[in-house]
Amino acid sequence: MLDLIGSGHFSHGDPEVFRPLVDNLLLSDPYLLLADYTDYIACQDAVSAAYRDTEKWTRMSILNTARMGKFSSDRSIAEYCKDIWHVSPLPIETGA
């Protein structure tokens, strides 16, 4: 895929458009985006195979939904604030 990006395939034949992106991934990759790329592709292949099996995909989807429990984005954000970022909410002035 990087070869296609670097070749200009996605930029009307201009290989320089995405050169900084490709160079960053190949020479630096500070966020380790390519570190588990092989595993990502293998997992995506497994997902694709499961999706093609309609009965299996439907069963997995139903079970996943049934087992997910209560989800609230407000609760998740509050937990991130408290447990990960260690920040507290600030009062909002309404100006009224």
- Chain segment 29-38, per-residue pLDDT in tens: 999 999 999 9
**47 within a domain of the structure (yes/no):** yes
Q: Contact, 52 vs 44, CB < 8 A?
A: no
Q: Confirm whether 66 is domain-assigned.
A: yes
Whether 94 maps to a domain, the answer reads: no
CA-only gyration radius of the chain, Å: 22
Residue 45 lies in a domain: yes
Overall domain count for the chain: 1
> Per the domain annotation, does 53 fall within a domain?
yes
- Looking at the domain assignment, is residue 50 inside a domain? yes
The verdict on residue 8 lying in a domain is no
3-state secondary structure of 43: helix
Among candidate residues 25, 41, 22, the one with its CA nearest the CA of residue 33: 25
Residue 74 lies in a domain: yes
Average pLDDT over residues 61-80: 90
Q: What average pLDDT does the structure give for the chain?
A: 92
Domain limits for position 49: 37-85
pTM: 0.53
CA distance 52 to 50: 5
